[in-house]
């Protein structure tokens, strides 16, 4: 579904990523880890088209992707309500959502345990609530590929485990491919997931079991 071939990203003389080669299959749960400044977010931005690689090729066999960035830009969206922000994530939003579309939004808000925020302004939400709203926006169109850059950074610990259970249900039931950038694999790991360790280039790709052996040889992720 996604393949990187000898991809590099440079800013002037500084190489952020070099010789990046990997592929993601349909239905994969693909975790990307690595130290701060290792190029994880840069890699994801090349995937969603926010950055252009300096060399190499990126092949993506779908146009239906959902994306949650690491840092949310809320300046232009503050007057919008929760309903409006989520509705903007539909594939073909109209001027006003239908009754069934509103019900779908409410169902997702309930899954995320913020069902009372439907008509609230984004301006009055906490960071964790805003992050849940944008998670729903990324999920609402049932993307073939869901790309999450540090999706739990503002979520309270009590909800993180529930969030990852929900993600694995989506992956299993919808055959959704999930690419997940994280510093903490504690709650995220389930069977058959893949780990990729990035530090300017790819240092490791494999199973979680093999990743633990890789770490024990002296490599650690934040």
**Confidence band, pLDDT 50/70/90 cuts, at residue 76:** low
Q: What is the pLDDT of residue 96?
A: 87
Q: What is the mean pLDDT of residues 28-53?
A: 93
Cross-strand partners of 8: 55
Per-residue confidence band for 126, with pLDDT thresholds at 50, 70 and 90: confident
Predicted TM-score of the model (pTM): 0.86
First to last CA, the chain: 28
Burial of 56 (0-12, 13-18, 19+ CB in 10 A): middle
Give the mean model confidence (pLDDT) for residues 116-122: 92
Residue with tokens 């000898």: 6
Q: How, if at all, do strands 177-181 and 145-149 pair?
A: parallel
Alpha helices by DSSP H, listed for the chain, are 40-48, 82-87, 99-111, 127-139, 157-174, 208-216
Q: How confident is the model at residue 75 (pLDDT cuts 50, 70, 90)?
A: low
Neighbours of 3 (CB within 10 A): 15
Judging by beta carbons within 10 Å of its beta carbon (0-12, 13-18, 19+), is residue 179 exposed, middle or buried? buried
Please answer whether residues 197 and 214 qualify as being in contact, where contact means their C-beta atoms are separated by less than 8 angstroms: yes
Domain layout of the chain by residue ranges = 74-142
The span from the CA of 119 to the CA of 25, in Å, is 38
């Amino acid at each position: 579904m996604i393949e990187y071939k000898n991809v590099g990203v440079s800013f002037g003389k500084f190489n952020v990523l070099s010789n990046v080669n990997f592929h993601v299959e349909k239905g994969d749960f693909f975790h990307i880890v690595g130290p701060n400044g290792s190029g994880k977010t840069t890699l994801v931005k090349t995937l969603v088209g926010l950055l252009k690689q300096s060399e190499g090729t990126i092949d993506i066999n779908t146009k239906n992707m959902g994306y949650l960035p690491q840092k949310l830009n809320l300046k232009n969206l503050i007057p919008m309500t929760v309903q409006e922000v989520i509705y903007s994530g539909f594939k073909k939003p109209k001027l006003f959502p239908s009754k069934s579309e509103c019900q779908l939004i409410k169902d997702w808000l309930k899954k995320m345990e913020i069902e009372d925020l439907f008509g609230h302004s984004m301006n009055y939400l906490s960071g964790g609530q805003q992050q849940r709203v944008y998670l729903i926006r990324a999920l609402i169109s049932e993307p073939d590929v869901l790309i999450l850059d540090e999706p739990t950074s503002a979520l309270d610990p009590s909800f993180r485990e529930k969030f990852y259970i929900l993600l694995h249900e989506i992956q299993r039931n919808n055959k959704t491919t999930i690419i997940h950038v994280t510093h903490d694999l504690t709650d995220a790991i389930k069977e058959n997931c893949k780990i990729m360790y990035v530090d300017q280039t790819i240092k490791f790709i494999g199973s979680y079991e093999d990743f633990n052996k890789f770490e024990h040889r002296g490599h650690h992720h934040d």
